[in-house]
Chain A
Amino acid sequence: GAGVSQSPSNKVTEKGKDVELRCDPISGHTALYWYRQSLGQGLEFLIYFQGNSAPDKSGLPSDRFSAERTGGSVSTLTIQRTQQEDSAVYLCASSLGPTVSGNTIYFGEGSWLTVV
């Protein structure tokens, strides 16, 4: 695709429900990242996938959060038993290769999650 695609754009859910957020990276990009941004704040790293390597899950805030990347392409971020503090914009990004090698990271428009 032309860019990183995320869905849904907006999601309102009731506290306690599970939500799934989807990310479709740029075709051919081996690296995929999930970040979240609370209102007026900087971005908080959640998880990073690189090719077939084990993901870096060091940023996931609790075991209610999980993510998978199927076939090295599409990724799904799942939040179980949502809580109000989970309300944020969830941003997905991808890059051709590792950013440590100088590869540019491209962000999607984000999924705005509101937990009521």
Chain B
Amino acid sequence: SQQGEEDPQALSIQEGENATMNCSYKTSINNLQWYRQNSGRGLVHLILIRSNEREKHSGRLRVTLDTSKKSSSLLITASRAADTASYFCATVLTGGGNKLTFGTGTQLKVEL
């Protein structure tokens, strides 16, 4: 099964609302990263949170990490139509080398 599993699989909201996506993982991690993908092509790195951090902010993005629950959340505040994309969490496993293990993603649609 996937190391990272996002919830929900799909999310549809109105512009201006907040969007929250969750990611759960199974094994100990070094860090967790969130990526955005438009139209099934290249991924864009959004934010990285280390295992000893609990919360990070970047612009309208807020990421939390709860290592006791093996979960992370990505909050996008005041969403815009341009935020429509797929969002993936990816983990760097402790002792797993330098590869990222990706979840299956959340498809976010922000409607005008």
Contacts and interface: CB of A to CB of B under 8 A. Distances in A.
B5 to A, nearest CB: 9
A4 B101 CA distance: 20
Interface string B43-78: 111001010000000000000000000000000000
Contacts of B102: 35, 42-45
For chain B, which range describes its interface: under 10, 10 to 19, 20 to 34, or 35 or more residues? 20 to 34
B99 A33 contact: yes
18 contacts: A33-B99, A39-B40, A42-B2, A43-B43, A50-B98, A56-B98, A58-B99, A59-B99, A89-B41, A99-B33, A99-B99, A100-B98, A104-B48, A105-B33, A105-B45, A107-B35, A107-B43, A109-B41
A61 B97 CA distance: 18
Contacts of A89: 40-41
Interface of B: 2, 4, 30-31, 33, 35, 40-45, 48, 50, 88, 90, 92, 97-105
Contact of B98 (A4, A37, A98, A108): A98
Contacts of B40: 37, 39, 89
Contacts of B97: 48, 56, 100
The 3 nearest A-B residue pairs measured at CB: A43-B102, A109-B42, A107-B43
Interface of A: 4, 31, 33, 35, 37, 39, 41-45, 48, 50, 56, 58-59, 89, 91, 93, 98-100, 102, 104-110
Contacts of A59: 99
A31 B50 contact: no
A41 B105 CA distance: 8
Contacts of A102: 31, 48, 50
Nearest to A56: B97
Contacts of B35: 107
